[in-house]
A and B are shown apart, each in its own frame.
Chain A
Amino acid sequence: MASLNVNGRVVEIDAHPDTPLLWALREQAGLTGTKYGCGIAQCGACTVHIDGEPVRSCSITLGSLGANQKIVTIEGLSPDVSHPIQKAWLELDVPQCGYCQSGMIMAAAALLARKPKPTDADIDEAMTNICRCGTYNRVRAGIKLAAGI
């Protein structure tokens, strides 16, 4: 049994310590907003925040996490789609199929927290998530809109 701090609550997870955080979130905690895309930290669909840092949850095991580490998933980013990134995404109709967007939004939110006025180069460096629908230009525009630049 592992104890995690997810979206401000303590969650007891009954799973093998080798279980990736992604699957503990999806299957034990019932938080399916975090998506499985590749399982090898390539696509970023599973991005969550751990202590504010964007992390690919498919490639971090339950056993390696401490009870005090603060995990935030897309469900916990804001209570009502009010995070500036979510508002910008809504304004620009960024998502197409939407499957990658939880990870995309979490990566973008972490970027803005670190760099409130990111440059294009900052965006290129931070946003390495794959979107097969091809929303990249709206993702970039959304980050800039949220940043007020």
Chain B
Amino acid sequence: MADNAVISRRSLLKASAAAAGAFTLGFSIPFTAAEAQGATPEVNAWVVIHPDDRIVVRIARSEMGQGTLTGLAQLVAEELEADWSKVSWEYPTPGENLRRNRVWRNFSTGGSRGIRESHQYVREGGAAARIMLVQAAAKEWGVPEGECRAAKSVITHTPTGRTVTYGKVAAAAAKLEVPKEVKLKPASEWTIVGKPVKRLDTVDKLNGKQVYGADIKLPGMLNAAIKACPVFGGTLVSFDAAKVMGMPGVKKVVQVDRRSVAVIADHWWQAKTALDALPITWDNGPHASASSETIAATLREGLDAEQAFEGNKAGDAKGAIASAAKRVEATYSYPFQNHACMEPMNATALWTPEKCEVWCPTQNGESALAAAIEASGHPAAKCDVYKVHLGGGFGRRGRSDYVTQAVLIAKQMPGTPVKLLWSREEDMLQGTYHPITMARMVGGLDKDGNLVGLHMRISGQSILSGVNPQGLQNGRDPVVFQGLNPGGQEGPFGYGIPNLLIDHAMRNPHVPPGFWRGVNLNQNAIYVECFMDELAHAAGIDPLEFRRRLMKNTPKHLAVLEAVAKGIGWGSPAAPGTAKGLAQIMGFGSYVAAAAEVSVSNAGEIKVHRIVAATNPGHVVNPDQVAAQVEGSFVYGLSAAFHQECTVKNGRIVEENFDTYPAMRINEMPKVESILLPSGDFWGGVGEPTIAVAAPAVMNAIFAATGKRVRSLPLKNADLRRA
């Protein structure tokens, strides 16, 4: 019993420590309280400096593994002239952002936008803080500001050599006016940005201390497990709570919304066990007979439809193809896929008649706050969201459905914090899926093998229609054309084709779509790059040379393609039994290409030996983290290409866990060589773009190895056995 007592106390301490961590994020409202005490001077919105010189950089975007936290801190620290070893970070809350007139601007973390869309203002935040610190020192010394220099968190009065550290003048600096205009350093003077500094968030991920949303523990907290109608569009009719109320730990069974029911219990395992035993009646709604086959038929119809939204047009594609010497046609398809974040969806909410607070992993703190406000019935000023690191996001946690649910549950337990955690099965069944599409590619070659016309007809799902219909332009979804556009951050299309038509017949099945790492670049790159390969073979021209001829006006696209071709040894004989494939595309503001070396056994087993990737993201903030993103994107992209599809039967998703929805594992992982070619004249993203080139490079290599062209994903469905 003595041991038990020790453990009980220890467990309690542990629980309190976890709660204290949460309180630090939340209840104490760190800045305003700290400011009032004058303990940790906020020099400006982005920079807090403690008297002992510790620097805390505020990070508005969410860390989900992609390293944006460290990259953004590097950008602030660079202009701050900070001693990097003293830099840590904290998340401001979206509620605080609202109260402070959105001083931290956008919290949304998706589309590889974290750094490319905020580098300017976070650097300005760092620069402004540095100027204020220098001003404060100069004032204290009674010397002109221009005679002072800042470096590594130390201000030096150059003529006398006097020095003072940031921590000593931070309180005085905080009282000065924030300068309106600041000059940023040229890239050539960077000492922190562009360097492979270590991540700021690693240690706690090695010892179990990192608190994810699923780990949140608050005093008196209960746990909830939830089931929504597995058929999209269906509703909850009834449930028999009496059947499970006597089960261990069960506190309450609640209807959450028109389609979900939750069991609340002392512990989550108890809640889930009771939920599994709960008799539930669903009304499966209007889509109860939908299946993968009916959805595919709808998409196939769209391939030939008269009406379609135009995405990119030049000349007369159909006419040019009709009069071409050779016509090449192929139809491709891409399935629904679940994000399958390692940490299932979750949120913890505390609702009282006075306020509503939520602790959650979210890619968009402000969207989570909006969801909490709406579900709680409280005004914005009485709600807040405390962000924790995400156990994966990949786009799924840009949605706030699970936040809404958590608040609706907590509202039925006033004063008691409730943690809602989805089971893996719920996570698989209630996704916002990678959109399903098909594409019919038709190309016309002249007698010399030049591509004179290309028509790409996409048929299928629009993400915006499901997620943000007000973003449609007269019904047209511009996001569909990612990588295929005439210009801009999501394009330009890499090939100069005199007669071009890329259009979209929108066909929206009942399965909800979502932004999924790589978004529409994934399938668009497969469709275009595999078909380019088909055209090259039809023309009897080397696939690299065939592309080169079309890339005279897109040198940045061509540069990354040439780099991977060189890296993989294009043109020299492949190692015995292996073959090579190439792909390139531009999206999320960056130019990317990949070259793969693949073998296919007689039994049809595919092995990817090596991938060379090249990225031109304009600027590289942390090369080690960019390399990690490139490798990681290939795992995500190749998992999707090889293994993953969510099929539909009786209106619902069939695959419920990793046994039927496998992910790539270490034994399938190829060697990855990542080439960075930053041209220094723009800012592009890196979390996503390379995901799109892995699959087409591998698929083109599979063709080179086998002579079989796979046009339908995932590859597990393809029969590549040799006769």
Contact = CB atoms under 8 A, between A and B. Distances in A.
Q: Which 9 A-B pairs have the closest CB atoms?
A: A33-B208, A134-B635, A99-B391, A97-B65, A98-B205, A96-B65, A134-B632, A124-B667, A23-B269
A34 B391 CA distance: 13
A92 B392 CA distance: 20
A55 interface: no
Given A130-B342, A132-B340, A105 B206 contact: yes
Interface in A99-149: 99-102, 105, 123-125, 127-140
B11 interface: yes
A93 B206 contact: no
22 contacts: A15-B267, A16-B270, A29-B11, A30-B11, A30-B15, A74-B208, A93-B625, A95-B205, A96-B66, A96-B628, A97-B64, A97-B343, A97-B389, A97-B393, A98-B389, A127-B666, A132-B340, A132-B394, A132-B636, A133-B632, A134-B636, A137-B671
Contact of A101 (B199, B205, B421, B628): B205
Given A15-B267, A127-B666, A139-B666, A97 B628 contact: no
B424 interface: yes
Interface in B289-348: 340-344
A39 interface: yes
B448 interface: no
Given A35-B342, A96-B67, A98-B389, A133 B635 contact: yes
A75 interface: yes
A90 B657 contact: no
B658 A75 contact: no
Interface residues of A, number: 65
Contacts, number: 202
B209 interface: yes
Given A35-B391, A86-B207, A137-B671, A45 B628 contact: no
A20 interface: yes
A98 B421 CA distance: 18
Contacts of A68: none
Q: Name the residue in A19, A99, A136 with the highest tally of chain B Cβ atoms < 10 Å from its Cβ.
A: A99
Interface string B66-94: 11000000000000000000000000000
B209 A95 contact: no
A31 B67 CA distance: 26
Main secondary structure of the interface of A (DSSP, over half): loop
Nearest to A103: B342
Interface residues on B, range: 35 or more
Interface in B217-243: 217, 223
Contacts of A26: 215
B342 A134 contact: no
B18 interface: yes
A59 interface: no
Contacts of B198: 93
B268 A137 contact: no
A51 interface: no
A97 B392 contact: yes
Interface of A: 9-12, 15-16, 18-20, 23, 26-40, 42-43, 45, 73-75, 77-78, 81, 86, 89-90, 93-102, 105, 123-125, 127-140
Nearest to A9: B7
Contacts of B199: 93
A42 B660 CA distance: 10
A101 B209 CA distance: 12
Given A30-B14, A132-B341, A95 B7 contact: no
A123 B666 contact: yes
Contact of B665 (A20, A97, A128, A137): A128
A102 B389 contact: no
A131 B635 contact: yes
Given A36-B344, A37-B342, A40-B658, A135 B632 contact: yes
Contact of A90 (B202, B389, B634): B202
B3 interface: yes
B97 interface: no
Contact of A23 (B64, B268, B390): B268
A130 to B, nearest CB: 5
